[in-house]
Structure 1
Amino acid sequence: MSEPASPAARPALAAPLRYLLMTFAALCVALGVIGIFVPGLPTTVFILMAGWAAARSSPRFSAWLEGHRLFGPMIRNWRETRSVSRRAKWSATVMMAICALVLFLTARKPWLAEAITGLMALVLAWLWHRPEPPRAS
């Protein structure tokens, strides 16, 4: 897999596309923050998408995200080593398990709860196969 081009090496995007990506980044941050409190809504995935979109649309927004005490480490770990922290993996696992339990207790159609839980299991399998970031010395 090739390394992503540095922001300076990327061609400038047209203003409408830049604004669209910036809006997408802001929406992903909002969903990521909501995901902190709502079981089943993944914080890490939304923050990583926000980092991707911000890096392509707004250097200022991207710098803010990377400097954020909660979001920055997630984005830097992914960008530098394609890794996810053990804490984020466990958090996602616990939240998805809670969501699956709620689904099975409330779903009127068991197949729907089973299908959604199956998708969450696939996401967790992918997530747990990601390496963990190297420990700081």
Structure 2
Amino acid sequence: MRQPVIRALWLMAGLLALALGILGAFLPLLPTTPFVILAAACFARSSERLHGWLLSHSVFGPAIRDWQQHRAISRRGKRAALIAMAAVFVLSFVLGVRGWILAAQGAVLLVTGSWIATRPDAPRG
């Protein structure tokens, strides 16, 4: 493939990831930060302007920089993610979601939560 086509594919992937990340801010089972980090990686390969915009964004920028520089997640971010996951599971239980779905959801949340909890803390500052 030609370079412009490859850049366009990276750009489309970045825009899709960013859209999913924005949706994740409002939908309980869709994560925000991983999609925004993915968008930043895609934009780094396709658009310096969009990559710079994400890195300097007041909300998304710090999390992206922490991940890129330290492979770390802030304590506040970890806490928010784990609380949101627990709340979604409790809500599913209260709403009477079928047992097999609760089991699958619980397994996914447990693995994901464990991964998040074991990432290094982002440096303060």
Instruction: Assess same fold via TM > 0.5.
Output: yes
Separation in 1 of the partners of 2:57 and 2:83?
A: 24
Question: Unaligned 5+ residue runs, structure 2?
Answer: none
Write out aligned runs for 1:1-137 (5 A): 14-104=3-93, 105-107=95-97, 109-136=98-125
Separation in 2 of the partners of 1:51 and 1:120?
A: 25
Separation in 2 of the partners of 1:52 and 1:34?
A: 19
Question: Unaligned 5+ residue runs, structure 1?
Answer: 1-12
Count how many residue pairs are aligned between Structure 1 and Structure 2.
Answer: 123
Matched to 1:66, the amino acid is: L
Deviations 1:64-92 (A, max 9, x none): 10010011101100110000011111111
Separation in 2 of the partners of 1:101 and 1:16?
A: 45
Deviations 1:31-90 (A, max 9, x none): 212212221211111111111111111111100100100111011001100000111111
- Conserved 8 A contact 2:25-2:32: yes
Q: TM-score, normalised by structure 1?
A: 0.82
Separation in 2 of the partners of 1:100 and 1:50?
A: 27
Q: CA RMSD in A?
A: 1.5
Percent identity at matched positions? 37
- Conserved 8 A contact 2:74-2:123: no
